[in-house]
Every structure is written in structure tokens, then in C-alpha cells.
């Protein structure tokens, strides 16, 4: 489907106070939308937000958001262009700013991602993308800023997969600074449990092994490399999305199911590739 069906309408005069990339003078034409995309593929929370748009803008924004999710792992730069197209008509919505931020991150535009995700936080009050923001600071070669964000009051209540993601980013930031001891310590969180595997555990175990190795603790590192492999085998391909907790030591555990998701919706988060590279810069 071509965007002409909703009109690449004559552009309104540019508002110089609107700093969105979608409002820049050199913004490109909106990319084409696949014929099978209706916009109804979005999850319910996103569709509820889109209800505030008029009948012309709503389908435009919805379809571009679907395309952004469809393409983020295949062609992140094109996914980013779709998110920007959605932002041109739905930029006041949290779900749109979130999409722009996450696709910008996937495309390696860390400055844009950081700005958009800060706006998303202000709109929504949601803190789950703090690890992405911290990793953007690393991408901008500001590892100390990443550490400071992890120590902020907003990050104090993070737990589960989000805390694990932040720990991996912070460990990488300390590694950037050559502080290998602190890189190890940053990963020693409750989620680092050698006897249980969550969806994020193989990456967390591997990050810990890498940090231990860099700190000269090779024997300990080897043990965690082996456990990362065991966790991957136990969880299996595709089980990272919503795994049950497994006990490696066969001890009974009355633990809740943990969802490896960083957004409001697991499906939306998976579509946007949130699990791409948090902490992977180390």
C-alpha cells in the first residue's frame, strides 16, 4: 500500500520548537506500507492510545507502527523511517515516541533514541526502557552517564529482566572505563542465580563470565560459561520469550513466572526487537 492513499499531504509550515526528527527540514517521503497491513495488528493498549487521533491520522499511524515492528529486526533503518512517519501525525502519543526511540536505537542512532525515550518516559511514567537509555549513553561514548542513570532514583525499583538488562549495560560501561572489578560487581544481582534459568539468564551468565575473565578470574569465568551453555540448552530455541523458571539443582522452587519483556506488551516488545543488544556493547 502506498502512503498516497492517506496522502503525503502538503507539509504544514515547520514548527522550529518541534525538535522531532520527523519535523526536520530534510525529512524523507514516508515509506510504503505492505499491502497486508491493516493497523489492527497492534496490541490493545496501543490501539487504545490511537483512538485519540482523528479518522484520517489513526490508520496512517497504526499501519506505520505495524511496519516498524515488522522490520526492526530485518531492516532497522527502514523501521525507523516508518516510526518517524507515524510520529508526523501521532507524535504526542507515548506508543509512537516509544516506537521512534526503539527503532532509532536498533538503527544505531543513539542520540535520537535517547531523546525520544526520555520523552516517552515523561509521557507514560514507564521506566522499563532505562537500560536502553543507558546503552545509548554508552553508544555516545559516555559510559559514566550510563552508570549515573543506573544509580538514579528511577532505576532503584527495577527488578527481574529489566534489572538484569541494566546490570549488563552498567557492567559494559565499567568495562569501557577499564574498571573490571566494578564490571563484575555490577552483575551480582539477585537475578544472577546459577541454579535457575530465566529467559535472560544465558546472556547474563555470559556477561558475568566475560567480566570475570577480564578481571583475571579465569576459573570462575569458565564455570559461568558452562552454566550459560546449560541454560541455553535447558530453555531451548524460542523459549526466551516467556520461559518457566527451571531448577538446575532439582530443588523445589515456589517462584513466579518471569516474562523476558521490557515494554508494556511482550508481543510489541518482541516485534520491536528490544532484546537486541542491551549490554552487548561490552
pLDDT, tens digit, 9 for 90 and up, residues 106-150:
999 999 999 999 999 999 999 999 999 999 999 999 999 999 999
Q: Which residues, 6 or more positions from 26, have their beta carbon under 8 angstroms from its beta carbon?
A: none
Ranges for all domains in the chain classified under CATH 1.25.40.10: 127-282
Helix (H) or strand (E) holding 196, with range, is strand 196-197
Burial label for 102, CB within 10 Å (0-12, 13-18, 19+), is: buried
CATH class entry, domain 127-282: mainly alpha
DSSP helix/strand/coil, 247: strand
Rg of the chain taking only CA atoms, in angstroms: 20
* For range 63-71, the mean pLDDT: 96
**Residues 243, 236: contact at Cβ < 8 Å?**
no
Q: DSSP letter for 186, please.
A: T
- Indicate the fold that domain 1-126 takes in CATH: 1.25.40
Report if pTM > 0.85. no
Mean pLDDT for all residues in the chain: 81
Sign of the dihedral defined by the CA atoms of residues 123, 126, 128, 134, in that order: positive
pLDDT at 28: 58
pLDDT, tens digit, 9 for 90 and up, residues 204-214:
999 999 999 99
pLDDT, tens digit, 9 for 90 and up, residues 73-106:
999 999 999 999 999 999 999 999 999 999 999 9
Amino acid at each position: 500500500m502506498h502512503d498516497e492513499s492517506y496522502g503525503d499531504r502538503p507539509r504544514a509550515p515547520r514548527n522550529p520548537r518541534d525538535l522531532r526528527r520527523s519535523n526536520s527540514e530534510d525529512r524523507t517521503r514516508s515509506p510504503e506500507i505492505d499491502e497486508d497491513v491493516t493497523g489492527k495488528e497492534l496490541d490493545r493498549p496501543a490501539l487504545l492510545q490511537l483512538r485519540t487521533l482523528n479518522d484520517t491520522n489513526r490508520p496512517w499511524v497504526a499501519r506505520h507502527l505495524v511496519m516498524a515492528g515488522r522490520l526492526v529486526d530485518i531492516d532497522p533503518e527502514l523501521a525507523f523511517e516508518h516510526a518517524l512517519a507515524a510520529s508526523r501525525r501521532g507524535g504526542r502519543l507515548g506508543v509512537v515516541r516509544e516506537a521512534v526511540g526503539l527503532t532509532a536505537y536498533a538503527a544505531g542512532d543513539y542520540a535520537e533514541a535517547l531523546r525520544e525515550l526520555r520523552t516517552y518516559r515523561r509521557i507514560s511514567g514507564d521506566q522499563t526502557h532505562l537500560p536502553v537509555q543507558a546503552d545509548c549513553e554508552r553508544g555516545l561514548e559516555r559510559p559514566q552517564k550510563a552508570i549515573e542513570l543506573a544509580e538514579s532514583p528511577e532505576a532503584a525499583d527495577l527488578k527481574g529482566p529489566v534489572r538484569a538488562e541494566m546490570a549488563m549495560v552498567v557492567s559494559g560501561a565499567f568495562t569501557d572505563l577499564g574498571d573490571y572489578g566494578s564490571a563484575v560487581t555490577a552483575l551480582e544481582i539477585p537475578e544472577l542465580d546459577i541454579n535457575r534459568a530465566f529467559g535472560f539468564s544465558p546472556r547474563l551468565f555470559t556477561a558475568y563470565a566475560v567480566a570475570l575473565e577480564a578481571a583475571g578470574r579465569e576459573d570462575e569465568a569458565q564455570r559461568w560459561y558452562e552454566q550459560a551453555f546449560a541454560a541455553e540448552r535447558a530453555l531451548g530455541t524460542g523459549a526466551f520469550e516467556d520461559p518457566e523458571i527451571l531448577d538446575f539443582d532439582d530443588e523445589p522452587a515456589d517462584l513466579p513466572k518471569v516474562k523476558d519483556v521490557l515494554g508494556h506488551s511482550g508481543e510489541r516488545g518482541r516485534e520491536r526487537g528490544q532484546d537486541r543488544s542491551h549490554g552487548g556493547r561490552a
